[in-house]
Amino acid sequence: MEKRRLYMDYSATTPVKKEVLDEMMPYFTENFGNASSFHTFGREAKTALDKARGQVANLINAKPNEIYFTAGGTESDNWAIEGVAFAHRSKGNHIITSKIEHHGILHICEYLEKHHGFEVTYLDVDDEGRVKLDELEKAIKDTTILISIMFANNEIGTIQPIKEIGEIAKKHNVLFHTDAVQAAGNVPIDVKELNVDLMSMSSHKIYGPKGIGVLYIKTGTKLHSFVHGGAQERRRRAGTENMPSIVGYGKAAELAKTNMDEHIERLTSLRTKLIDGILEKIPYTRVNGSLENRLPGNVNFSFEFIEGEGILLMLDMLGIAASSGSACTSGSLDPSHVLMAIGLPHEIAHGSLRLSIGDFTTEEDIDYIIEKLPAVIERLRMMSPLYDAVTKQK
């Protein structure tokens, strides 16, 4: 009998939807022109490029000329931070971010500190993973040039008070960037309402191809160019456009916008069923992150007395693909910096499991997880001397 294969790692990446792939295919073959060329092939590519730019802009209520295509979310994060830092160095050298950011933010900030003399404040978060607005405002100095706070956390799914952060930034005349890689296409976003100056996005989180992202740059925002060469992306990010992926991202953004309400309602229902089922069946378990302000498809548990790696291996043997945190740090044996930042002790942070739900997840899939996961946790705990000591005390 063939082993069941169940994908529960949509926060890491998503499959390309058929409608997206169908839109992309001609741009590998007959519509292969360079969008910078003046002949018919080039003009056809330029028309497709403009269409995709408009589709992505419509997803977040931006203007098409505020959408800049990149190679992905990490590049967009790097460009936003470095681009503002170098463009505004004459004003100041202070950047504010949080301790739970994606490493695409944290590592570029560390680089600027180490090699270019910038000062970075890493804000604490509360036990749900939300930035404290009063502490954010207190951290602003005369030399502050940028606030960068992620829209929604990739590990625990917590959504930040982005509008309020944008208001604080605007009040103090500080630029505001948000990493919306997990949020854009999964929750409604209106950049005009949020006072956002820069926003990072990625295609492969919303059923588009990998290797293509966007940096939204609000009109009038001063930013250094990131890749130097040709005139592509209004001379800010040179290089021949990746037309098949750009077209695919455009279609994925269009589908996300069209299906947003249904997507949120269905995933939230499945998420609630999964959380309730696991908490009922598995003792010594906690849900990490905010239950109220949370991505619709994100579930993150911590199971006491065991380690996440063991859970992942045993689930994989059952055909269940899951994660213990960010896919970008899966090679690390250190506990999640996000879970440590929300106050979990080292031993509990190690026992984390992220189950992320997507458009192809079914009720039967959730039932299967609720059926199989308790036995996995129990088996691992039976090998744990810590668990043995606790149960004997009872």
Q: Any idea which residues carry the catalytic annotation?
A: 328
CA distance 52 to 46: 10
